[in-house]
Amino acid sequence: QLVRFLVFSASLRRDSLNSRLAELAARTIEANGGKVDRATMREFDVPSYDQDAQEQAGFPLGAQEFRRRLETSDAFVISSPEYNFSMPGVLKNAIDWVSRYRPQPFNERHGMLLSASPSMAGGNRGLWALRVPLEHLGARVYPDMFSLAQAHQAFDGDGRIADRQLQEWFERNVVGFMDLVEAAKHYVCAKTA
Ligand code: FNR
């Protein structure tokens, strides 16, 4: 039984560096025997969270879609830009909507966080901010976060990381995460068999 990963970038930008990194993660997962569900943040487009709107009209389509895609995957991989040392508002807003579902879909779901930025920090501070709501929601956030610095000049023509050592480090991180998700899935299957 293949392990299935929901992979998406939290950037809406056409030439997004994070979308390139998300695609590289997706290809790495597939090359190592995993199944990938590629999503875009546009599919999870939601209005600003408003509790009155939720009570009156229920969940918007983007939130329904985000929940469905999370629940049909074993784990998620997000490549998120860093906006002002935090995550983009669109991502936080989508997480807020989904967090109101019961059962709450992030609970006990494994997740890996990636970031890409033209800066030297690679967007890493944004990932520390993103960990907080996800861990609060019970997500099993992989300890190794990968942040690609100077990402505007980091990719080669094939969409891989041009620096060989860094590309190998990236692959090891992704495969390490896949191994953990697979082991956890087998453990749960064995427990419930
Ligand atoms: C940024 N950017 C940015 N970069 C960074 O490393 N740390 C930061 O705090 C911020 N803050 C920030 C705020 C806002 C509102 C914008 C629009 C941008 C720059 C950001 O990393 C850069 O635009 C990336 O290219 C965004 O990611 P995508 O869209 O290329 O995936």
Q: State whether the beta carbon of 18 lies less than 6 angstroms from ligand 1.
A: yes
- Please tell me the residue having the least CA distance from ligand 1 atom 7: 82
Calculate the CA 107 to chain-centre distance.
Answer: 15
Q: Which of 18, 20, 82 to mutate to test the pocket of ligand 1 (most atoms within 8 A of CB)?
A: 82
Q: State whether the beta carbon of 119 lies less than 6 angstroms from ligand 1.
A: yes
CA of 148 to the centre of ligand 1 (A): 12
116: β partners:
148
* Residue 64: per-residue pLDDT: 98
pLDDT tier at 141, thresholds 50, 70, 90: very high
CATH number of this structure's domain 4-192, picked from the four choices 3.90.1710.10, 3.30.70.1290, 3.30.1490.190, 3.40.50.360: 3.40.50.360
Query: For 38, how many CA atoms within 13 A lie in the half-sphere containing its CB?
Result: 12
In the predicted model, what is the mean pLDDT of residues 139-145?
A: 98
CA of 17 to the centre of ligand 1 (A): 10
* Residue 43: per-residue pLDDT: 98
Question: DSSP 3-state helix, strand, coil percentages of the chain (rounded to 5)?
Answer: 50, 15, 35
Residue 122 CA, closest ligand 1 atom number: 6
User: pLDDT tens digits for 6-47?
Assistant: 999 999 999 999 999 999 999 999 999 999 999 999 999 999
Q: DSSP for 141-183, please give it.
A: E-S--EEETTGGGTB-TTSSBSSHHHHHHHHHHHHHHHHHHHH
User: pLDDT tens digits for 109-139?
Assistant: 999 999 999 999 999 999 999 999 999 999 9
Residue 188 scores a pLDDT above 90: no
CA of 55 to the centre of ligand 1 (A): 34
pLDDT tier at 1, thresholds 50, 70, 90: confident
Tokens representing residue 45 in the block: 């487009």
- Please tell me the residue having the least CA distance from ligand 1 atom 27: 81
pLDDT tier at 98, thresholds 50, 70, 90: very high
In the predicted model, what is the mean pLDDT of residues 80-92?
A: 98
Q: Kindly report the pTM of this predicted structure.
A: 0.97
Q: State whether the beta carbon of 82 lies less than 6 angstroms from ligand 1.
A: yes
* Residue 187: per-residue pLDDT: 85
Residue 186 scores a pLDDT above 90: no
CA of 117 to the centre of ligand 1 (A): 6
Percent with pLDDT over 70 in the chain: 100
ipTM of the complex: 0.99
Residue 81 CA, closest ligand 1 atom number: 27
